[in-house]
């Protein structure tokens, strides 16, 4: 379940060196080359999945637990007081590497704002209509 042309397949399986903070049978966790903050890490499954929609249940079931483990280690070791788990799916969502990965981004007191949005406004009828649209597709 690897894609020979995928850089994250090569990194996850050790063919390309990386700053690895964790490895097991299923995952490698590396430091991001363009970190949003000190310690910014990427959880990479060793198998190739394009995005979250392609993940098998077993991998999906492990990835959040691993995110919590890495984030907890960052708090103990780096002095961050929180962390974001971020995961982009599709170009419009900001995905640039099409091998599933989860970002673990340490957050420091007084650090820059990131991973945010400007809240919009929606009335209850609009919310109900939107909820029906999504429900209809499940
Ligand atoms: P995304 O935009 O969610 O697809 O995230 C891709 C991330 O991978 C970005 O934060 C990049 O900085 C990071 N990245 C791309 N190539 C490498 C690489 N060779 N080693 C480490 N991080 C990388
Ligand atoms: Zn891949």
Report domain extents, the chain. Answer: 7-137
Provide the greatest CA pair distance for the chain. Answer: 53
pLDDT in tens, 28-39: 999 999 999 999
Percent of the chain with pLDDT over 90: 93
User: Which residue's CA is minimally distant from atom 18 of ligand 1?
Assistant: 33
CATH code 3.30.70.2860 for 7-137: no
- Neighbouring residues of the ion ligand 2, judged by CB less than 5 Å: 3, 6, 8-9, 48, 99
The distance in angstroms from the start CA to the end CA of the chain is 27
Ordered alpha helix ranges (H), the chain: 7-12, 57-78, 124-137
pLDDT in tens, 61-79: 999 999 999 999 999 999 9
So what's the pLDDT on residue 114?
85
Model pTM? Answer: 0.95
The tokens describing 120, both together, are 């919009």
* pLDDT over threshold 90, residue 116: no
| Active-site annotation holds for 101 | yes
| Active-site residue, selected from the candidate residues 40, 48, 101, 103 | 101
The span from the CA of 129 to the CA of 136, in Å, is 11
Nearest-CA neighbor of 100 among 46, 40, 58?
A: 46
* pLDDT over threshold 90, residue 86: yes
The span from the CA of 64 to the CA of 59, in Å, is 10
Helices H / strands E in the chain, number of each = 3, 5
pLDDT in tens, 6-15: 999 999 999 9
Burial class (CB in 10 A: 0-12, 13-18, 19+), 47: buried
């Amino acid at each position: 379940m690897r894609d020979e042309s995928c850089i994250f397949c090569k990194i996850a399986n050790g063919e390309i060196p990386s700053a690895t903070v964790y490895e097991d049978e299923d995952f490698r966790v590396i430091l991001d080359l363009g970190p949003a903050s000190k310690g910014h890490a990427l959880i990479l499954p060793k198998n190739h999945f394009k995005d979250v929609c392609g993940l098998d249940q077993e991998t999906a079931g492990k990835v959040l637990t691993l995110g919590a483990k890495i984030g907890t280690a960052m708090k103990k070791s780096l002095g961050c007081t929180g962390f974001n788990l971020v995961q982009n799916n599709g170009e419009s969502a900001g995905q640039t590497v099409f091998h599933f990965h989860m970002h673990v981004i340490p957050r420091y007191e007084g650090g820059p704002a990131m991973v945010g949005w400007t809240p919009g406004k929606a009335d209850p009828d609009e919310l109900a209509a939107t909820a029906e649209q999504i429900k209809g597709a499940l």
